[in-house]
């Protein structure tokens, strides 16, 4: 999947294993903005984890590239315990220095396009309770609280659901 924006700078495409380090760096920068006590698993080998996600046969990792630099990422696949017509958005990040630039909206549209092509009817995700910016972003794009996974008062994440329409 390759999409160019109106200025011809942004390209949205599938990430390749050689980009795992750049993808991991972007994720760490983005996630560090909303974890009040620091990034969990700070010592994790994020590059290896992202290489596995990129190489996962049943998953997708899309990236937004602007002038050779990865500025947005999305990782999704069928959840292990979910129906085949549902996709789980595991990671969705835009480089913090590019927030409010339209990259997230363009990346989300590319995800929805891929979900439609894959025959998905719904998408689910969990978002950190302290990440109010992301919750507002998802709400603007039609995500709603998932009634199948109510949030308990000790939860650190909120579950959201999105209806994947045919786009007609």
**Residue whose token pair is 């507002």:** 136
The residue-averaged pLDDT of 44-69 equals 91
Domain containing 122 equals 3-163
The CATH number linked to 155 is 3.40.630.30
How high is the pLDDT of residue 152?
Answer: 60
Share of the chain above pLDDT 70, in %: 85
Are 58 and 127 in contact by the 8 Å Cβ rule? The answer is: no
Q: Is 120 within the bounds of a domain? A: yes
CB proximity list for 69: less than 8 A, separation 6 or greater: 22
pLDDT at 136 > cutoff 90: yes
The residue-averaged pLDDT of 57-69 equals 92
If one counts the domains in the chain, the total is: 1
Q: Is 113 within the bounds of a domain? A: yes
What's the predicted TM-score (pTM) here?
Answer: 0.86
Q: Is 157 within the bounds of a domain? A: yes
How high is the pLDDT of residue 16?
Answer: 95
Are 122 and 162 in contact by the 8 Å Cβ rule? The answer is: yes
* pLDDT bucket at 43, cuts 50 / 70 / 90: low
| 83-124: pLDDT as tens digits | 889 999 999 999 998 888 899 999 999 999 999 999 999 999
pLDDT at 63 > cutoff 50: yes
How high is the pLDDT of residue 150?
Answer: 63
Q: Is 60 within the bounds of a domain? A: yes
Q: Is 117 within the bounds of a domain? A: yes
Candidates 120, 133, 121; CA nearest to 93 is 133
Q: Is 168 within the bounds of a domain? A: no
Alpha-carbon torsion 95, 14, 18, 45, what sign?
Answer: positive
Q: Is 95 within the bounds of a domain? A: yes
């Amino acid at each position: 999947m390759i999409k160019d924006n109106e200025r011809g700078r942004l390209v949205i495409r599938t990430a390749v294993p050689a980009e795992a380090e750049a993808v991991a760096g972007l994720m760490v920068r983005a996630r560090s903005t909303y974890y009040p006590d620091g990034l969990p698993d700070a010592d994790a080998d994020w590059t290896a984890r992202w290489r596995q996600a990129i190489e996962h046969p049943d998953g997708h990792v899309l990236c937004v590239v602007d002038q050779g630099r990865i500025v947005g990422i999305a990782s999704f696949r069928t959840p292990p315990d979910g129906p085949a017509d549902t996709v789980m958005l595991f990671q969705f990040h835009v480089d913090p220095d590019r927030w409010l630039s339209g990259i997230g909206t363009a990346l989300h549209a590319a995800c929805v396009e891929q979900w439609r092509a894959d025959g998905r009817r719904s998408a689910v995700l969990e978002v950190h309770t302290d990440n109010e910016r992301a919750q507002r972003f998802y709400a603007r794009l039609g995500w709603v609280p998932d009634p199948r996974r109510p949030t308990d008062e000790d939860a650190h994440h909120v579950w959201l659901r999105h209806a994947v329409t045919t786009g007609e």
